[in-house]
């Protein structure tokens, strides 16, 4: 469980401020993901990355920016926070066996509860 | 892109009864179907998964079935216990180097005494 960590665990910010959520994994997994969890919507994919310097949009990317300069880190930035971005954010990582796509367990971080006021 | 639908959204069963959660997916290229359990305030954790070359997989009280033709898969929990109470998510993963994991909206399972 200590292999993937998120920080901070809790964050309160004001509308319009920039916020960065951090995610770090120690397994050298090639895949990393950012999800947001809202009641009634389950886990919605924001951005994902198949390897360092490779990122792609998920289902709900608007208002978010990601980067992946190193395999182990995948920060998520809210450029100008809005109240609709109040949510619980989960980072996850996974490996791919045989280069055939995502077909092994995804491990989740503890989550970051973000409140935008 | 992939769309995963999950039913029911809530499920209440008595201890000892069975519970079934169903999911459908849209992308025929999906080939990996995991199920995650999330207890209140905790992170989602994998409980069982199935790959497209297998029709059924069992692990003690839980089992998953996959029908690729119909594009649906189900989670079966037998002899439910209070500690099975949680939110369960199904997911589907597409193939290829840009694959991603798409989740259903979750099922809240309540096991009553």
Tell me how close the Cα of B103 comes to any Cα of chain A, in angstroms: 6
Q: Are A74 and A87 in contact (CB under 8 A)?
A: no
**For residue B100, what pLDDT is reported?**
82
Cα B74 to Cα A34, A70, A76, B27, B66, distances in angstroms: 25, 37, 33, 17, 7
- Average pLDDT for runs of 10 along chain A of length 117: 89 98 94 92 92 92 97 97 98 78 83 98
Q: Confidence class of residue B78 from pLDDT cuts 50, 70 and 90? A: very high
**B49 closest CB neighbour out of A33, A92, A105:** A105
Interface test with A, best of B1, B42, B44, B54 (most A CBs within 10 A): B44
Average pLDDT over residues B55-74: 96
Quick check: B100 and A35 CB within 8 A?
A: no
CA dist., res. B106 & res. B8, Å (int): 8
Average pLDDT over residues B50-70: 93
**For residue A96, what pLDDT is reported?**
74
Quick check: B104 and A50 CB within 8 A?
A: no
CA dist., res. B24 & res. B79, Å (int): 25
Beta-bridge mates of residue B6: B23
Average pLDDT over residues B73-77: 98
Q: Which residues of B touch A92 (CB under 8 A)?
A: 101
Task: Report which of B48, B31, B30, B29 is spatially closest to residue B89, judged by C-alpha positions.
Answer: B48
**For residue A53, what pLDDT is reported?**
93
Comparison of pLDDT for B54 and A70, the residue scoring more: A70
Is the CB of residue A9 less than 8 Å away from at least one CB of chain B? no
CA geometry: angle A101, B46, B59, nearest 5 deg: 105
Interface test with B, best of A101, A104, A111, A113 (most B CBs within 10 A): A101
Average pLDDT over residues B16-36: 95
CA dist., res. A10 & res. A21, Å (int): 10
Q: Confidence class of residue B97 from pLDDT cuts 50, 70 and 90? A: low
Residue whose token pair is 């994919």: A45
**For residue B40, what pLDDT is reported?**
93
Interface test with A, best of B97, B107, B108 (most A CBs within 10 A): B97
User: Is the pLDDT assigned to residue B90 strictly greater than 80?
Assistant: yes
């Amino acid at each position: 469980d200590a292999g993937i960590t998120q920080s901070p665990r809790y964050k309160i910010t004001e509308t319009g401020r920039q916020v960065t959520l951090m995610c770090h994994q120690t397994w050298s997994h090639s895949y990393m993901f950012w999800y947001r969890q809202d009641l009634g919507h389950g886990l919605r994919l924001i951005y994902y990355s198949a390897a360092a310097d490779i990122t792609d949009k998920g289902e709900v990317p608007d208002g978010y920016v990601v980067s992946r300069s190193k395999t182990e880190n995948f920060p998520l930035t809210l450029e100008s926070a809005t109240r609709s971005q109040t949510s619980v954010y989960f980072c996850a990582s996974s490996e791919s066996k045989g280069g055939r796509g995502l077909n092994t367990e995804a491990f989740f971080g503890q989550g970051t509860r973000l409140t935008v006021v | 892109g992939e769309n995963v639908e999950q039913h029911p959204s809530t499920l209440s069963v008595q201890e000892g009864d069975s519970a079934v959660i169903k999911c459908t997916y849209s992308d025929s290229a999906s080939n990996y179907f995991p199920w995650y359990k999330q207890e209140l305030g905790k992170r989602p954790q994998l409980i069982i998964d199935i790959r497209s070359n297998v029709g059924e997989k069992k692990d003690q009280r839980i089992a998953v079935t996959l029908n690729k033709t119909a594009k649906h898969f189900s989670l079966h929990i037998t002899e439910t216990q209070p500690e099975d109470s949680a939110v369960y998510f199904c997911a589907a993963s597409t193939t290829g180097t840009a694959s991603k994991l798409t989740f259903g909206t979750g099922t809240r399972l309540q096991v009553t005494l």
